[in-house]
Amino acid sequence: MNENKLYILPELPYGYKDLEPYISEDQLQIHHQKHHQSYVNGANVLIEKNEQARKENTELDMKSFLKDLSFNLGGHILHSYFWRNLKPVNEGENKPAGMIAEAIEKEFGSFDRFKQEFAKTAVSTEGSGWAVLFYCEKFDKLLIGQIEKHNVNLYPDFKILMVLDVWEHAYYLDYKNKRPEFVDNFWNIINWEEVDKRFEKNRG
């Protein structure tokens, strides 16, 4: 890859071993360096192809081009959120604090109820996809969503506060087919400070 690409793979804010035992070094490295990188590369290739077509004044199949672009760009953006809403394992219980904790309490009744709904969302996502915590500014409301692949079922305009990748490539080395175990362990490595920061920023 040359250096003048539009999209680049972000560095992780921690080391590849730092999410163990919940995500192994091998699993995290392949997920970041191979899978995430492939969406970055895919988006760059497509953007170049489009620019080339404009220069040469040739036609692209817009429908298929845009589908590929939203898939790859969606993958890049969601993974970038995902790495930052994870953090190395600390001692003690990992629970939200601050404004996001209050908002979860208000919306879901309790943190446990939120966990239950979010986990069910992640476990029941069909095929490859994401569980997402969104914020709707208009009604000052938290919403859970399921994004299929990287780009289907998105709520336009709603801000992404937290994501969980439930593609098999996110957990298969460590958990094989046991997605519920992976989802269960996700709670130990959520960076709630980052989620709260996103919430406060979007709430204004």
Contact set with Mn ion (CB under 5 A):
165, 167, 170
By beta-carbon proximity to Mn ion, the closer residue of 39 and 192 is 39
CB of 56 to Mn ion, least distance (A): 34
CB of 114 to Mn ion, least distance (A): 23
DSSP codes of every residue in 122-147:
HHT--SSEEEEEEEETTTTEEEEEEE
By beta-carbon proximity to Mn ion, the closer residue of 114 and 167 is 167
By beta-carbon proximity to Mn ion, the closer residue of 29 and 202 is 29
Which residues make beta-bridge pairs with 136?
141
> How many C-alpha atoms does 54 have within 13 Å on its Cβ side?
6
CB of 170 to Mn ion, least distance (A): 5
Cβ atoms 151, 69 nearer than 8 A: no
Residue 39, both tokens: 């969406």
Phi first, then psi, for residue 135 (nearest 5°) are -125, 125
By beta-carbon proximity to Mn ion, the closer residue of 31 and 196 is 31
Q: What is the number of residues in the chain?
A: 204
CB of 155 to Mn ion, least distance (A): 20
CB of 121 to Mn ion, least distance (A): 16
With CB atoms as reference, the residue minimizing the distance to Mn ion is 165
By beta-carbon proximity to Mn ion, the closer residue of 134 and 167 is 167
CA R_g for the chain: 18
B/e letters for 123-140, b = 16+ CB within 10 Å, e = fewer, are eebeebbbbbbbbeeeee
